[in-house]
Amino acid sequence: KKTGFIFDLDGVIVDTAKYHYLAWRKLANELGFEFTVAQNEMFKGVSRKKCLEILLNIGGITATTEQFDRWMIEKNEDYLTYIEKMDRSEILPDVDKVLSYLKSKGMPIALGSASKNAIPILEKVGLTDYFDVVVDGNHVTKAKPDPEVFLIAAKKLGVPTQNCVVFEDAIAGIEAANKAHMVSIGIGDAKTLSSAKHVFGNFEEMDTAFLDMLIGAVN
């Protein structure tokens, strides 16, 4: 039997949160208000539409449908100018090491992201080939903390949900993994991600013995 490994993208594989932040801040400033790094925390793992709703709420702005749609496009076009310049150097520490180790053990690997830009980002950083399955914002109707994205990933991998492991940096993502009855592994701050089964500051702190344990434990 095999363990399915599902990786979130933003905050786990690459730090695109900083680019999302710059693009949302630009829009906020254009609309006449500030958007702080602290407020950006609420945007992690959250869909683009939901992010704009929160942003407009922060600015106290009510938008028409036309304005809302235009601002979504504007933010994304700005975000894409940052993505365009990404390369391998933006892969977070030891992500390649973990991916290649799991691959060498024959484990099925999926991406489970809320982003609609997931495929171009994987291409830019050269990690596409590791993934047997990619489930992103284009495939889901319900955003994290709904488990939909991870359930679809498990199904496409052909692995029972209880035999799947999820790596996530966002509280909403950990909640989604727990709801899907998967082993949730937080990547980031232990206090913030306290609902995860295990937490690591980053992949450098995770050794192959732990990965072997995951491969063995769910089987």
The nearest distance, CB 71 to ligand G16, in angstroms, is 12
Segment 88 to 147, residues that bind ligand G16, using CB under 6 A = 113-117, 137
8 counts as catalytic: yes
The nearest distance, CB 219 to ligand G16, in angstroms, is 27
Of 35, 161, 137, the closest CA to residue 76 belongs to 137
Choice between 7 and 215, CB closer to ligand G16: 7
Binds ligand G16 (CB under 6 A): choice among 43, 71, 131, 203 = 43
Q: Which does 51 bind (CB under 5 to 8 A by kind): Mg ion, ligand G16, none?
A: ligand G16
Alpha helices in the chain (DSSP H): 17-30, 37-40, 48-59, 65-83, 95-104, 118-125, 148-157, 171-179, 208-217
92: which DSSP letter? P
| Contact characters 52-81, ligand G16, x per CB under 6 A | ------------------------x-----
Q: Which does 43 bind (CB under 5 to 8 A by kind): ligand G16, Mg ion, none?
A: ligand G16
Catalytic residue among 10, 15, 169, 189: 10
Burial of 216 (0-12, 13-18, 19+ CB in 10 A): exposed
Instruction: Count how many residues are written for the chain.
Output: 219
Place of tokens 């913030």: 192
184 forms part of the interface with ligand G16 (CB under 6 A): no
